[in-house]
Amino acid sequence: MLVRLVRNATLLVEFGGLTLLVDPMLADPHTLPPVENTAPPIRNPLVGLPEPAAEVSSAAGVLLVTHLHRDHFDRAAQSLVDPATPIICQPADHATLAGYGFTEVRAVEAATVIDDVTVTRVAARHTMGDGELTLGPCSGFVLTAPGEPTLHVAGDCVWCTELAAVIEEHRPAVIVLNAGAARFLDGPPISMTADDVIAAARSAPYATLVAVHLEALNHCPMSRDELRRHLVAAGLDERVRIPGDGEALSW
């Protein structure tokens, strides 16, 4: 298994003979407005891609979309990804993706199998506050295949009992967490804080965690260095990897 961070939550994952493009946000820097009701008022994304967007999109054998917020699937991805590419998504997003012209959209209620890879949809909570309904549904996905360590892409999920239950049930060897401590001007965080990442790491002492969703969006104030300082203080820095954009990790 290889997990390569492209930018934000966009990943290229080589797993069980498949290359999956996860949550593609492929826009050029500063071409998207700031996230509504957030600060500072800086246009997104904050940084460029490590290679041209067309190269990222062309690498996708399968698309895995956790939800349709524009920092996880944007208009650039919509226009660049081949419409015949199989897309795995949550049921709530099937009609929208099919409406974009994608011809092989698989809405996963429980699990689906592509070649030798089983993809199981699991619970995720975008926030613990009252804004969860406004944000809409999001999902995590667990990938398994013969000869591969189990991979959990948690999606936009804060630390919660649902995530703890997923980790306990599936015992993933690798867990990708969306950090950054994203938030609106009011209300609780809508992506993982340092405390959330630490709680997840302590819940799975057998796993390697990969923290992404950092330093790419205006409403994500937590930097890689800040998260690393918290992990060092907690004695977890060797178990939680914080890749830079373009960096690949393998198991």
Q: Which helix (H) or strand (E) holds 62?
A: strand 62-64
Confidence band for 129, pLDDT divided at 50, 70 and 90: confident
Residue 130: per-residue pLDDT:
80
130 burial (CB, 10 Å; 0-12 / 13-18 / 19+) is exposed
Residues 6+ apart with CB under 8 A from 238: none
Percentage of the chain beyond pLDDT 90 is: 98
Q: Say what the pTM is.
A: 0.98
Q: Which element (helix H / strand E) includes 196?
A: helix 194-203
Rounded to whole angstroms, how far apart are CA atoms 56 and 77?
Answer: 9
How is the chain split into domains, by residue range? 2-250
Q: ∠ at Cα 128 (24, 197), nearest 5°?
A: 65
pLDDT at 133: 82
Q: Say whether pLDDT at 132 is over 90.
A: no
Distance CA 176, CA 11 (A): 10
Q: What per-residue confidence (pLDDT) applies to 36?
A: 94
Q: Does the pLDDT of residue 131 top 90, yes or no?
A: no
Residue range 210-220: average pLDDT? Answer: 98
Q: Mean pLDDT score of the chain, rounded to an integer?
A: 97
Block residue for tokens 């959990």: 152
Greater confidence (56 vs 133) lies with: 56
Helix 224-234 vs helix 194-203: crossing angle, to nearest 10: 40
| pLDDT tens column, 152-182 | 999 999 999 999 999 999 999 999 999 999 9
Superfamily of domain 2-250: Ribonuclease Z/Hydroxyacylglutathione hydrolase-like (3.60.15.10)
Output the 3-class SS for 150-162: CEEECCCCCCCHH
Task: Give per-residue pLDDT as tens, 58-73.
Answer: 999 999 999 999 999 9
Confidence band, pLDDT 50/70/90 cuts, at residue 13: very high
The pLDDT of residue 249: 98
Q: Please give the Cα distance from 189 to 59 (Å, whole number).
A: 33
